[in-house]
Amino acid sequence: MHSVSLIAPGKINLDLEIIGDRPDGYHSLIMILQSIKLADKILLHPNGTDLLRVTCHHREVPSNQDNLAYKAAALMQKEFPSLGANYGGLDIIIEKHLPVAAGLAGGSADAAAVLVGINLMWDLGLTQPEIEELAAKFGSDIPFCVGGGTAIATGRGEKLDSITPLDHLWLVLAKYRSITVSTPWAYKTYRSVFGHTYINEPASLASPTAHIHSRPLVKAIQQKNAAEIGKLLHNDLEKVVLPEFPKINQLRETCQNAGGLGTMMSGSGPSVFTLCASETEAEAIQQQVRAKIPDPDLELWVTQLCSHGIQVISHPKH
């Protein structure tokens, strides 16, 4: 069995709408998810033992069973026990470039890469929808990370409908290193403050696209109308996260005032992004934000939207 190296792009939310409660305790969502070029690199290497071992130089990334990449490999062993026993353990080496706990699906992207990589290493021949189905078993964002691009996500976030890929725009990403937002906290708080607005009528929830406020955004994406896309960015979780975290709110304002097409928080934060028409514009905005907030705790990146999810970069058999 050979080693496999993969690229695992992060994602941003161009749209995140909370529609209602689900019987499983999660929320029914409508999202537009978008891959970005900023990506982790994953190396899967047979280790000659029966153990799964995760290595990552980033001190906030767990190297135990809590790591989503570990969970992905353990799930594959459980789903395909004879192949798992036959091929043995794996070293999962994560080269972290995506900020951790940022609302950019870094952990989910690593897990998606492990599923795609093991599918190749064990010659499973699983199709993308089959891998996405496995992915949905342990995280709402993981199915999207498999195929990436631009997609409408409904259900818990795991039901995907790809739309015209959007890869011509750039973005500035901004995140305070020391601020973390708990995703369960954000959703729980949203439920307690805005629960009365939920659509709890099962027939309505059965067709979430009927409630897609984002329809104009989908149209703007299909038309590649950058100015409209920027204006129509939306994230319901901003309503609970921004009042609780004034520094994220202030960062969002600073990014927005610096220009670009539009600014929004991604996922449950704390990352904020500004969409830009060009790399030059993104770099100018990055410099302006840095000048306004010289705090070394603030991290900034310039990257581009991208039209793919997990990519295999080396697999000697192919």
Closest contact distance (angstroms) between CB of 224 and ligand C5P is 28
Phi and psi at residue 158, in whole multiples of 5°?
-95, -10
Rounded CA gap, 79 and 176, in Å?
A: 39
Closest contact distance (angstroms) between CB of 154 and ligand C5P is 10
The single residue among 103, 157, 208, 260 that binds ligand C5P, judged by CB under 6 A, is 157
50-54 contacts, C-beta under 8 A, 24 or more apart: 50/85, 50/88, 50/89, 51/89, 52/77, 52/89, 52/90, 52/92, 53/89, 53/90, 53/91, 53/92, 54/92, 54/94
107 is in an annotated binding site: yes
Closest contact distance (angstroms) between CB of 104 and ligand C5P is 12
251 is in an annotated binding site: no
91 is catalytic: no
Give Cα separations from 114 to 88, 111, 155 (angstroms): 15, 5, 24
Residue 141 found at the interface with ligand C5P (CB under 6 A) = yes
Residue 106 found at the interface with ligand C5P (CB under 6 A) = no
Closest contact distance (angstroms) between CB of 256 and ligand C5P is 26
Rounded CA gap, 167 and 197, in Å?
A: 34
Residue 23 found at the interface with ligand C5P (CB under 6 A) = no
Encoded tokens for 200: 């709890």
100 is in an annotated binding site: yes
The single residue among 26, 80, 122, 198 that binds ligand C5P, judged by CB under 6 A, is 26
Choose one: 23-31, 74-82, 199-207, 241-249; the region binding ligand C5P (CB under 6 A): 23-31
Residue from 134, 141, 180 nearest 157 by CA? 141
Q: In what order do the strands lie in the sheet with 262-265?
A: 262-265, 272-276, 170-176, 298-304
Q: Which is nearer to ligand C5P, 136 or 217 (CB)?
A: 136
E strand map for the chain? 4-21, 27-46, 52-56, 90-95, 150-154, 159-162, 170-176, 234-235, 262-265, 272-276, 298-304, 311-314
Choose one: 34-42, 182-190, 220-228, 255-263; the region binding ligand C5P (CB under 6 A): 182-190
Q: Which is nearer to ligand C5P, 7 or 101 (CB)?
A: 101
In the three-class reduction of DSSP (H, G, I as helix; E, B as strand; rest coil), residue 209 is classed as: helix
Q: HSE (CB half, 13 Å, CA atoms) of 196?
A: 1
The residue count for binding ligand C5P (CB under 6 A) is 11
Encoded tokens for 124: 């499973």
The single residue among 70, 170, 176, 187 that binds ligand C5P, judged by CB under 6 A, is 187
Q: Which is nearer to ligand C5P, 87 or 190 (CB)?
A: 190
Residue 189 found at the interface with ligand C5P (CB under 6 A) = no
123 is catalytic: no
**List 15, 110, 141, 236, catalytic entry:** 141
> Which residues are part of the catalytic machinery?
11, 141
Question: Would you list which residues are annotated within the binding site?
Answer: 99-109
- Binding interface with ligand C5P (CB under 6 A): 26-27, 29, 139-141, 156-157, 183-184, 187
Question: Would you list which residues are annotated within the binding site for ATP?
Answer: 99-109
